[in-house]
Chain A
Amino acid sequence: MLKMKNNYFQRLFWILVIAGIWKAISLSGLFSPLIFPSPETVLKSFYLSLLNGELIRQTIISLSLILRGLIISLIIALILSLLAISSKTFAGMVETLLAIAHPLPGIALMPLVLIWFGAGTKAIIFIIVHSVLWPLVLNLLTGFRAIPEIYRLVGENYGLNSLKIMWYIMTPASLPYFLAGIKIGWARAWRALISAEMLFGAAGGIGGLGWYIFKKRVFFDIPGVFAGLIVIVIIGVLVEDLLFNKVEDITVKRWGMQI
């Protein structure tokens, strides 16, 4: 408990230090306040955007897109990796798909996606799914393959069929890899989302945080750009610290199964 508090204290301390340096640079007059706003102008812009609801609205749009993308990726990833571990033929298929798609950055697909799906929600979700799916499949496959044979033997020994072995044994046994995959997937999804929103947030009339930042830049509202960035950072930290770390604390860490 003490250590955790200490961590938060450290975080806060360094954030204040960074803000201090920032303030010093803006005071030094080296850069025009137009392109390097002081921290308080940024905070003010952040506060006003929160107040008029714009920032919150765009955040909700982005989060709902990312959540939909993650859920779709999760379902497809589970199906693909389960197929791959239950049959050699499918394993070949999934590995070929992985080899083709995994190294392909989502951004590179955007022109094609734009033509196929138009500049709308579908296009953004497609890009998110592409960014999340492959690392997730890769992790799930590694996880399933890393399960010690003895767990399966013990399961068989008590008369479990394949389906029950999957549920009672493979699922918890592969959880560390699954969590690692979700973490990578989440980070990738953010990147894909923000870039996609910047590219066709306007055309499709969707908006989102990426679009918000882009729009602020167009109007040369640099404090507004920073306000958007702050939201992205806050969400990132919250998800990492509160969600992922907590889930790990009560599962894989407690079980001594971290990878």
Chain B
Amino acid sequence: MNLLEIKDLSRSFVTGKNKLLVLQRMNMSVKKGELLSVLGPSGCGKSTLLRLIAGFLKPDSGSISLKGKPLSGPDADRIMVFQDFNQLFPWKTVLQNVVFPLKLKKVGSSRKEREEIARRYLARVQLDEFLHFYPHQLSGGMKQRAALARALATSPEIMLMDEPFASLDGQTRSTLQEMLLKIWQESESTIIFVTHDIREALLLSDRIVVMGSSPGRVKKVMENKLTRPRDQLSRDFTEMYKEIYGLL
């Protein structure tokens, strides 16, 4: 059984007198443990799709079900990592930011235990030396790493990543992509990764949902069988790149 099942999902937005259809009868599924990319040009509704899965938005029609059960509103079983560097709470230190959801979800029996868990996840994103820093003292890449640790710490069923590395410089982005891959392989988490960057989708994911725009819809779902670690300069990589480029 698929972990997440999306059936005939449609969603539109009303602006003034106009009704804009953003997603039209989308169908897709996510398997447990896979890293799935949703790839499409900006404005194709991929962020809307993620917000629907997160439960921030309600669909007009169609359904999203997690482990066979239809979704009802946002919950910690689907955690979003945003592109926005402001997703950490500025009044909490890095450590407190990660402890906060653990406390809410009553993970761990004491503060000490929760801090221990948070430290472990922060070590995995190599922020062990910045535990007591406030977000405004961190670089963009460090903020995104902290957000990743916060998302991982509560062990959600699915991590929803909305172009989390898109605002970073190229070098930092590559480092974080590698870090994400390593964490994903170790933790066997399920990730839906939204991006407009073909290379990023090819580097990271097992499958790629290529979306078309106005209205947003699934154009093609591609298996990405390139062997890991993936080489951007290899012929296969370039071939696939060209194929997707042609689709978009």
Q: Which residues of A contact B (CB under 8 A)?
A: 148, 150-151, 153-154, 156-160, 168-169, 172-173, 175, 251, 254-257
Whether the pair A257, B91 counts as a contact (CB closer than 8 A) is yes
A interface majority secondary structure: helix
Chain B contacts of A159 at CB under 8 A?
74-76, 104-105
Whether the pair B80, A157 counts as a contact (CB closer than 8 A) is yes
- Residue from B75, B80, B105, B136 within 8 A of A255 (CB atoms): B136
Chain A contacts of B76 at CB under 8 A?
157-159
**Residue among A150, A160, A168, A256 with the most chain B CB within 10 A?**
A150
CB distance from B147 to the nearest CB of A (A): 9
The answer to whether residues A158 and B101 also contact, given A153-B56, A153-B80 and a CB cut-off of 8 A, is yes
CB distance from A248 to the nearest CB of B (A): 13
Chain A contacts of B100 at CB under 8 A?
158, 168
**Residue among B84, B91, B105, B137 with the most chain A CB within 10 A?**
B91
Is B87 among interface residues, defined by CB-CB distance under 8 A?
Answer: yes
Give complex CA distance A247, B100 in Å. Answer: 23
Give complex CA distance A160, B136 in Å. Answer: 24
Give complex CA distance A254, B86 in Å. Answer: 16
11 contacts between A and B (CB under 8 A): A153-B56, A156-B56, A157-B54, A158-B76, A158-B101, A158-B105, A159-B74, A159-B75, A159-B104, A168-B100, A255-B134
Give complex CA distance A159, B80 in Å. Answer: 12
Chain B contacts of A254 at CB under 8 A?
134
Chain B contacts of A157 at CB under 8 A?
54, 56, 74-76, 78-80
**Interface pairs A-B: 5 shortest CB-CB:** A256-B136, A172-B91, A156-B74, A255-B91, A255-B90
Total of A-B residue pairs, C-beta within 8 Å: 60
Whether the pair A151, B104 counts as a contact (CB closer than 8 A) is no
Chain A contacts of B101 at CB under 8 A?
158
- Interface residue ranges of B122-148 to A (CB < 8 Å): 134-137
Give complex CA distance A158, B151 in Å. Answer: 10
Whether the pair A256, B105 counts as a contact (CB closer than 8 A) is no
Is B89 among interface residues, defined by CB-CB distance under 8 A?
Answer: yes
| Other A-B pairs, 19, CB within 8 Å; known A159-B105, A256-B134, A257-B136 | A148-B84, A150-B82, A151-B89, A154-B80, A156-B56, A157-B75, A157-B76, A158-B76, A158-B79, A158-B104, A159-B75, A159-B104, A160-B104, A168-B100, A172-B89, A175-B91, A251-B91, A254-B134, A256-B135
Which residue on chain A has the smallest CB distance to residue B102? A158
Chain B contacts of A156 at CB under 8 A?
55-56, 74
CB distance from B156 to the nearest CB of A (A): 9
Chain A contacts of B56 at CB under 8 A?
153, 156-157
CB distance from B90 to the nearest CB of A (A): 5
